[in-house]
Structure 1
Amino acid sequence: MLLSEQLLRQMLQADLDYMRNRIKEIEEQRPPSNGDFTAGWNLGRQSAYELAARCIERALTASTIDPAREE
């Protein structure tokens, strides 16, 4: 099943919004950095969400999605 480009972009935008919200939540919940495991874990999670958000942003800024790459 092939998705239309518009639907795919809507799905990517929803994913991007989710990632940005998770990053914001993690930043708000981050305890003072005192070297404990939780602070390191949250920083790692935040980095993963930031990387995912950048990848989604790149996909959204692509002029077109090449169906040949799907094969």
Structure 2
Amino acid sequence: MDYFIVVVTTVAGLYFHWWLYVRIRRWMDRDLALSLAGADERKKAYMLACLDKARAQRVKRAELAAWLERQAAAYPQG
């Protein structure tokens, strides 16, 4: 019974740390997209849509910042 408690607690702890890691990465990606948008509300929505598009295209994490910067530069002004 003791081993069962240790295993369940360890698995729950590992799952929680994985979940927290994934959430923090998503928050950081969202903050990056929003920081590239500035104060423009339409551009914020555009950049969040671009972030969703990057996730759908499976853009690698190392390439995400440059990819989002290119999308921000391609935003139609005016």
Task: Classify the TM-score, shorter chain.
Answer: 0.3 to 0.5
Between 1 and 2, higher relative CO (CA 8 Å, sep ≥ 6) is seen in 1
Considering fraction of residues, name the structure with more helix. Answer: 2
